[in-house]
Structure 1
Amino acid sequence: MKRRLLLQGAAASVALGHAALVRAQGSAPRLVSLSGGMTEVVYRLGAESLLVGTDTTSTYPAAALQTPKVGYMRQLSAEGVLALRPTALLATNEAGPARVLDQLKGAGLALHLVQADHSFEELRAKVRVVAQASGRVEAGKALEADLQTQWQAALRKVAQADQQRRSQGHAERKVLFVMAHGGRPQGAGTDTAAHAMMTFAGARNVLSGGSGYQALTAEAVAQAAPDIILTTQDSVDASGGLQRFWQFPGLAFTPAGRQQRVVALDAMALLGFGPRLPQTLDDLRQRLA
């Protein structure tokens, strides 16, 4: 109990000191991004000079890897963020823990939150929020319009491909998304970014009977019988390469495993709902064909 009170007192002291510092800093924003997708928007708007820190999901572009890191967006500490002297935070509702966000708001930081609902509207909201926070509103409007055009073009291609598939009597593509960045592999059910991307691409998620990420067993994988495995390049690398990836329970005995059909994409391009979203959907459509 005593140690907890000391830690809370230290956090409060840091917060009070930071609030005073923010008031003295002038008008130039100092941004910390807690979302890989929002970090990408910062760079697309040419506002990277305002970025003083990012979370570990901010891996693109390559320059984002060189920014000071504040940890994983769901496991933040107030002290680590405040040490960078930011004036504003860019995040989705997935950031946390909640008590840390409360501490950061109490320190005088502006918290710009976007609802992560795995939609194109999520991306549009990220662009608007970053544009406002960085003072690049007009550039944000131009980027949003450009992304809208790209997105509609990508959706039209999906619709055309689906119509062609149906006219040729081809069966619906059954896809299993496997996440294996560390530890046991998990599959994606509904309410996940992976499920949204599979749906946008016109494929059927074989785990759509469940919600969220689910531990994969050999029995579940065999019963799902996917035609294609969708994963991230990080998952393949963490597994030790494709040969080891296929050794996860049950994968080798599925139609996808027998034909060695796997699509591995950059994790943040596929799941981050950043400005690469339209391009990634078009790439996914082609590779799932």
Structure 2
Amino acid sequence: QIARAGVRVVTVSGDSSLQAIPQKIITVGQALQRESEAQALAQQMTQQIRQLPQQPLPVKVLYIMANSGMKSMAAGNQTAADGAIRSAGLENAMGSVPHYQALSQEGVIAAAPDLVVIGEDGLKTLGGEAQLWQLPGLALTPAGQQHRLLVIDTMALLGFGLDTPRAIVKLRQAAESLNHD
């Protein structure tokens, strides 16, 4: 409808991968007729992405999405959270299921996450960390028993934009610190 009204519409990739970030920058730069600035920023972003740890780390991460009015969900494969977890060289604890799935006690226990990740707003929605560990089965997992939690900026981690490489480094550092517990 917007395009039919004569407004120029530019489509930016929604791909949840690090490799898509520089292309998103270039697309926006072209739309704004700021190609040279976009090219420089895209190169800078490519350098940041290249500096991310490449070595796999056998840490299982459970990403929980909690929005008000909805049941708490676990991120499976084919999600932005899965892309972020894998980009950090980590394992998605729910990687065997597609999309976001409602948390179930059996599923969470079987997934046996080493680390739980949740957005700042999601944790507030649940009422805080104490309520998080009350979610079905979570207290019975390695992460729950040790209260291993990373609270993160959801858009930075899942948006696959300018802040995503830093969020992925934060995720990786949290996973690496588990080996020192």
Structure 1-normalised TM-score? 0.58
The reply on whether 1:117 has 2:20 as its aligned counterpart is no
8 Å Cα contact 2:17-2:84 kept in structure 1: no
Equivalent pairs counted in the alignment come to 175
Residue 282 of structure 1 is matched in structure 2 by 169
1:240 shift after superposition: 1.1
Cα deviation digits, residues 65-99 of structure 1 (max 9, x gap): xxxxxxxxxxxxxxxxxxxxxxxxxxxxxxxxxxx
Equivalents in 2 of 1:236, 1:158: separation in Å?
29
Partner residue in 2 for 1:209? 96
| SS of 1:176 mapped into structure 2 | strand
Q: Within 5 Å, which residues of 2 pair with 1:138-287?
A: 138-154=36-52, 157-159=53-55, 162=56, 172-182=58-68, 183-287=70-174
* Residue correspondence of structure 1 range 19-98 to structure 2 within 5 A: none
Distance in 1 (CA, whole Å) between partners of 2:5 and 2:133 is: 48
Partner Cα distance (2:22, 2:6) in 1: 26
Distance 2:10 2:19 in 1: 16
**Rg larger in 1 or in 2?**
1
Query: Which residue of 1 is the match for residue 24 of structure 2?
Result: 126
Q: Distance in 1 between matches of 2:34 and 2:167?
A: 25
AA aligned to 1:228 is L
| Larger RCO, structures 1/2 (Cα 8 Å, 6+ apart) | 2
Cα distance in 2 for residues equivalent to 1:209 and 1:117: 20
Q: Which amino acid aligns with 2:75?
A: A
State the 1:216 CA deviation: 0.9
Q: For 1:114, what is the secondary structure of its paired residue?
A: coil
Q: What is the alpha-carbon distance in structure 1 between the residues aligned to residue 33 and residue 117 of structure 2?
A: 38
Q: Following the alignment from structure 2 to structure 1, what is the Cα–Cα distance between the partners of residues 20 and 111? A: 30
For 2:90, give the aligned amino acid: A
Contact 1:114–1:122, Cα closer than 8 Å, also in 2: no
AA in 2 matched with 1:237: K
Find the aligned partners of 1:272 and 1:148 in 2 and give their Cα distance.
16
State the Cα distance separating 1:241 from its structure 2 match.
1.0
Structure 1 segments (4+ residues) deviating >3 Å: none
Gaps of 5+ in 1: 1-102, 166-171
CA RMSD of aligned residues (A): 1.3
**2:19 match: secondary structure:** helix
Deviation at 1:184, TM superposition (A): 0.9
Unaligned runs of 5+ in 2: 177-181
The answer to whether the 8 Å contact 2:13/2:24 transfers is no
